[in-house]
A and B are shown apart, each in its own frame.
Chain A
Amino acid sequence: MQHTHDDKHHAHAHDEHAHHELGFWAKYVFSTDHKVIGIQYAITALIFLFFGFSLMMLMRWQLAYPGQGIPFVGSLLHNLLGDAAPAKLNDAGQVVGYIMSADLYNAFGAMHGTIMVFLGIVPLAFAAFGNFVVPLQIGAPDMTFPRINMASYQCFVVGGVIMLVSFFIPGGAAAAGWTSYSPLATLGSSHGQTFWLIGMVFLITSSLLGAVNFIATIIQLRAPGMNWMRLPFFVWAQFVTAFLLLLAFPPLEAAAVMQLMDKVAHTSFFLPTGLVVSQQIANISGGGSPLLWQHLFWFLGHPEVYVLILPAMGIVCEVIANNTRKPIWGYKSLVYSTLAIGFLSFIVWAHHMYLTGMGTKISTFFQTTTMIISIPSVIILTCFFISLWGGSIRFNTPMLFCLSFLPMFGIGGLTGLPLGFNYSDLFLHDTYYVIAHFHYIVAPGTIFALFAGIYYWYPKATGRHMSEFWGKVHFWLSLLFMNLIFQPMFVQGMAGLNRRLYDGGATYAGVANPAGGVVVGVPQFFLDLNKMISHAAWALALAQIPFIINFFWSIKKGRKVDSDNPWQATTLEWQTPTPPPHGNFPVVPNVYRGPYEYSVPGHDTDFTPQNEPDRVAPKITQPLPK
């Protein structure tokens, strides 16, 4: 803020100014520059992603080899977490390894979900890319409220730290699933859940501040001529996402406060009358309702899942338009579908609760809305598919990730349908089919789109390209292993294998049925798939090494960009110096056309930037800001 209005007079010499007068801390840690904040978010979120993945890799060991000592890191876990990772003794009574206790498995599971969703994807897809790209794409000098922007990042870090600390407190981290259903979440004696709730309050606050900032920025700071139908689709996606966060998160905040009261002030918001704890009637006032928590949670929960996917779709749209060298097919229907999704996502939440004793009326309502909301998604994907037609497709790394996003999201989305019908959910609920459904969307879907975004905007942020070769290696291996991980889960789910099982389902291993040879429980074959999945998951981790190295190596050593617009793109972020100075645009850009004017007939290049003046005299739809 200081150097946003004090020095309007010499705004020109501004970036040197910034260089000389801002120390390291002011420039990289407590910066109010949306680009720096975006990068801070990106790095932090990527690290959290990797951490969440690591938790899952440990869980996958337990699922594949139940009760066997954890290799490599077993003793480390034991030293860090104590009896949560108890020693495994052989007959002679000497320690042969350290295993994962059920509580630790549950804690890791809950934290994997929480971290991936709230500390990984949302900060990366929404906050990081949104911060870095949106102001550039709409031709703004920064966010509307730079200091609130910084505060939002700091809240995020605090929330993240609280979550991390909770692993090391007595009793360990929250272990009631990322959904934290009461009474389980409330009755547990450990403070992990309390930490989780406090952490969530910070994360929610962070998201709310971010959302306000994004919406205000997109409404107020669009460059002259950048009217709504000229916004790049990515901006639209971020706009709707911001609204989802703004209006869906507060009810969860309220719920978190109430569950916090239940835990620390011994209220009974979510605890019914007549709860029995250790064979005694619990000493609480009772009168609460466990279902209330579920409603408030899923009122956020479902919009949240679109928060996870919409920014990804935005990225995919940018990259596809750029690499097919043609306008996106059906830009308007994309925009309207996105608005429709945003709107509908507030009234479908109870499809997560079909089996809580829901009567006909309610379930009819919710499964109908659920089916309706699947249509706009179909439309969006269809637009992307048809946009390929007639293009001149370049298969660089970002494009590869985006192309594979389409079928991957397709699979994930389509498998949402049998879950959406209450009568088939009756069987599929809580099986690995659900796990596979949403992982296809968030992992090879969203994460791939985010990878694409990183490869695509990296040159703008650093002035250097990431290595194409290693990028392609990263892509093909990730694609292979992602599918090896999640495809078998559909099979397991269909066979009736449940999620959140500490022993990977060994308890339900099929046994020959005395009466009539029928096999009851889950046939061994489907349990053995666990091993295969786990190996694929670990291989997926190895497949990330090229990316990580590439990511850091290219900062200094990567191939320099040949121009400010290496991809020959049309949108405004490429019409700035590279990397963009503080304040982004030397002169306020003027926008004359839609976002994806590629291969315009009669134009000398195959791309026409949004701010390139028309042959005819430009008509300025708005006066320049003073």
Chain B
Amino acid sequence: MNQYFDLTRYLQLPVLASEHGRKVDALIIFVHWLMIALFIGWIIYFFYAIYRFRKSRNPKADYVGAKTHASTYIEVAVALVEGVLLLGMAIPLWAKSVDKFPSEKESTVLRVTAEQFTWNSRYPGADNKFGKQDFRSASSTNPLGYVADDPNGKDDIEPPAKEIHVPVNRPVIIYLTSKDVIHSFQLDNMRVTQDAIPGMRIPTQFTPNRVGHYRIQCAQLCGSGHSGMFGEFFVDTSEDYAKWQAEKLKSKGTSATVFE
């Protein structure tokens, strides 16, 4: 039954790799059913009408024309369907994704600071606390403006730019901000898009459920390098992720052990 209504194959959406993504696709597909229905219906009527009432076949027009209320019913129907999709899916789903965040303990939490033209991720490290970020202390040596003498920051992990790792099947919470202009963090395969706006720190969440290597796109014009502002997003098995994290912590050298 369901697969008949499933347009994914025809719409050619990118590979799906997150839990809530299913619902995004579902909404897209339902709306397209509405559109297709209206389109087919009207287009058939349309061609029939211009064929049937062409001048050569119908030399004398009818002053009154159609005496039907069908149109009213169609309009009401459209309104109803839109209402259903709105109340049934769009509103509650949005509420869920922006109001109901998983607790930080059950999830992988990271900060992403966008800048022209790259993505910088940062993990809280062993203490699960981020260092203080204050752009007033930004400098060429400290591009992300993390306050040097903040104990919480000592064990934070900073992978190379453009690189993000998360474990599979565990909620991810990303705090997004930007140094300079507005960027937009878009992960097609996760069905996630969120603007990174300077002066704001906006959280976004999703649960990757498919191991793989995906692409972050910048979805907001941000200057000459916009088209090249991609990022590598790795969804690892929990083992691989643990390994990766461990070596990152080690590579931090002493600073990680200072606070043991």
Residues of A within 8 A of B (CB): 101-103, 106, 175-177, 181, 183-184, 187-188, 272-277, 279-281, 289-291, 324-327, 329-330, 355-360, 363-364, 367-368, 371, 374-375, 378-379, 381-383, 385-395, 403, 406-407, 410-411, 414-415, 417-418, 421-424, 426-430, 491, 494-496, 498, 500-503, 505, 507-508, 513-516, 518-522, 526, 598-601, 606
Contact = CB atoms under 8 A, between A and B. Distances in A.
B21 to A, nearest CB: 8
A253 B54 CA distance: 49
A382 B211 CA distance: 48
Contacts of A363: 94
Contacts of B230: 507-508
Contact of A102 (B39, B99, B200, B227): B227
Interface in B31-45: 31-32, 34-35, 38-39, 42-43, 45
24 contacts: A176-B221, A274-B198, A290-B197, A326-B63, A359-B99, A360-B94, A360-B98, A381-B42, A391-B62, A392-B60, A393-B54, A403-B50, A414-B35, A422-B90, A424-B28, A426-B24, A429-B186, A502-B224, A520-B189, A520-B213, A520-B214, A520-B215, A522-B14, A598-B61
Contact of A502 (B42, B61, B82, B227): B227
B55 interface: yes
Interface in B112-157: 115, 134-136, 138-140, 143, 145
Nearest to B60: A392
Interface string B53-82: 111001111111110100100110011001
Contacts of B191: 426-427
Contacts of B39: 407, 410-411, 414
B15 A518 contact: yes
Contacts of A103: 224
A277 to B, nearest CB: 7
Contacts of A330: 71
B228 A274 contact: no
B247 to A, nearest CB: 19
Nearest to B65: A390
B193 A426 contact: yes
B46 interface: yes
A398 to B, nearest CB: 15
B242 interface: no
A621 B29 CA distance: 55
A388 B53 contact: yes
B55 A184 contact: no
A429 B28 CA distance: 12
Contact of A427 (B12, B24, B59, B200): B24
B215 A508 contact: yes
Contacts of B198: 183, 272, 274-275, 290
A102 B225 contact: yes
A502 B230 CA distance: 13
B30 to A, nearest CB: 9
Contacts of B58: 390-393
B246 interface: no
Contacts of A359: 98-99
Nearest to A516: B212
B53 A391 contact: yes
B170 interface: no
Contacts of A600: 63
B223 interface: yes
Nearest to A277: B180
Given A382-B75, A421-B90, A274 B65 contact: no
A281 B97 CA distance: 34
Interface in B183-209: 184, 186, 188-189, 191-195, 197-200, 202
Given A356-B195, A498-B186, 10 more contacts: A272-B199, A277-B180, A326-B63, A375-B75, A390-B53, A417-B35, A418-B35, A424-B28, A427-B13, A513-B213
Contact of A406 (B46, B65, B75, B214): B46
Contacts of A421: 27, 31, 85-86, 89-90
Given A418-B32, A520-B15, A503 B228 contact: yes
A357 B193 contact: no
B90 A429 contact: no
A417 B82 contact: yes
B226 A500 contact: yes
B101 to A, nearest CB: 13
B210 to A, nearest CB: 8
Interface pairs A-B: 9 shortest CB-CB:
A272-B199, A390-B62, A496-B188, A274-B135, A357-B202, A325-B61, A392-B61, A390-B65, A502-B227
B31 A418 contact: yes
A281 B179 CA distance: 9
Contacts of A360: 91, 94-95, 98-99
Contacts of A329: 65-66
A381 B78 CA distance: 13
B164 to A, nearest CB: 13
Contacts of A175: 224
A324 B53 contact: yes
A417 B34 contact: yes
Most buried by B among A277, A356, A516: A356
B250 interface: no
B219 interface: yes
A8 B140 CA distance: 76
Contacts of A101: 224
A61 to B, nearest CB: 15
B102 interface: no
B31 A424 contact: yes
Given A367-B91, A390-B61, A392-B58, A423 B24 contact: yes
Contact of A276 (B49, B63, B138): B138
A389 B66 contact: yes
B227 A507 contact: yes
A264 to B, nearest CB: 19
Given A393-B53, A496-B188, A423 B66 contact: no
B159 interface: no
B161 interface: no
B97 to A, nearest CB: 8
A391 B192 contact: no
Given A382-B75, A426-B192, A183 B181 contact: yes
Given A496-B14, A520-B215, A424 B61 contact: no
B15 A519 contact: yes
Nearest to B13: A494
B199 A392 contact: no
B115 to A, nearest CB: 7
Contacts of A507: 227-228, 230
B40 to A, nearest CB: 11
